[in-house]
Amino acid sequence: MKNSLDEYRSDFDISQQELANYVEVTRQTINAIERDRYDPSVELVFKLAAFFECSVGDLFHPDVGLKKTISEVE
Amino acid sequence: MLEKPSQIRRAIAVLVVAGGVLLAGFTVFEQPLIGVGAYVVAVSGVVGARYRAEKPVFDERDEAISRDAAKWTLMLLGLGSAGVFPVLTAAWGVGLFEWQPWLVGVALFVAGLYLTYGIFLRVCALEVIGDEKFS
């Protein structure tokens, strides 16, 4: 899942290890998320967004591949 | 020593492997009590290493990796068993094969494993959907 985690991290000048400590995961997990090699759980996604005080959509940009949205269905 | 989570993870991996190898090794050389003693020391080391860590050593990514590994193990074992055991049974039926006690043990183990898997599949499904009917 595409994300802006590394940009947010560098904007706030914190290391992967520091971020990992704040959201209680390992540094390797933060690294794997930034490299799009691991899709975090919903809980961790919200934790990261809460930490950076942004919305989940600001941080993560999944390609959900929807054919239609609700307004197109109705 | 053992300051970083990565060092603790490595130490735990070494202890787990060493414990298993020592238990098996001493059992093969007919020293079961030494084997069990070494295994207990290794397991105590694992528990100690995990509890002395101040930072998370394992997290949700490890759980995801473990789930993937279990999935592949079950799939490969299942596919292998689905092919091998019917062939052996057919070969036994036409007199080309004799079941050996160790192979019967393997077959029963596989059957027990999938029975356990089936039970947990049901239990976990009930936890997720409860007794609600699908709409």
What pLDDT, in 10s, does the model give residues A12-32? 999 999 999 999 999 999 999
- pLDDT at site B53: 78
Task: Answer yes or no: do B18 and B72 share one domain.
Answer: no
Identity of the residue in A20, A27, A41 whose CB atom sits nearest the CB atom of B60 = A41
- pLDDT at site B89: 94
Task: Answer yes or no: do B69 and B47 share one domain.
Answer: no
Res. A7 pLDDT band, cuts 50 70 90: very high
Task: Answer yes or no: do B66 and B125 share one domain.
Answer: yes
Q: How far apart are CA B126 and CA B135, in angstroms?
A: 16
For residue range B109-133, list pLDDT tens digits in order: 999 999 999 999 999 998 888 766 6
Residues of A in contact with B55 (CB under 8 A): 20-21, 26
Task: Answer yes or no: do B26 and B75 share one domain.
Answer: no
B102 found inside a domain: yes
Task: Answer yes or no: do B89 and B37 share one domain.
Answer: no
Domain that holds residue B120: 60-129
Query: Under 8 Å CB-to-CB from B58, ≥6 apart: which residues?
Result: A26, B9
How many separate domains does chain B show? 2
Task: Answer yes or no: do B68 and B121 share one domain.
Answer: yes
| % of chain B residues with pLDDT over 70 | 95
How far is the alpha carbon of A11 from chain B, nearest alpha carbon, in Å?
A: 24
Q: How far apart are CA B75 and CA B86, in angstroms?
A: 17
Are A29 and B58 inside 8 Å of each other by CB? no
Which CATH architecture describes the domain A2-73?
Answer: Orthogonal Bundle (1.10)
Residue of B nearest to A17 (CA): B55
Task: Answer yes or no: do B110 and B68 share one domain.
Answer: yes
Task: Answer yes or no: do B37 and B92 share one domain.
Answer: no
Strands A2-3 and A60-61, by their bridges, are antiparallel
Task: Answer yes or no: do B28 and B89 share one domain.
Answer: no
B134 found inside a domain: no
Q: Which residues in chain B land under pLDDT 70?
A: 1, 131-135
Residues of A in contact with B60 (CB under 8 A): 25, 29, 40-41, 43-44
Res. A60 pLDDT band, cuts 50 70 90: very high
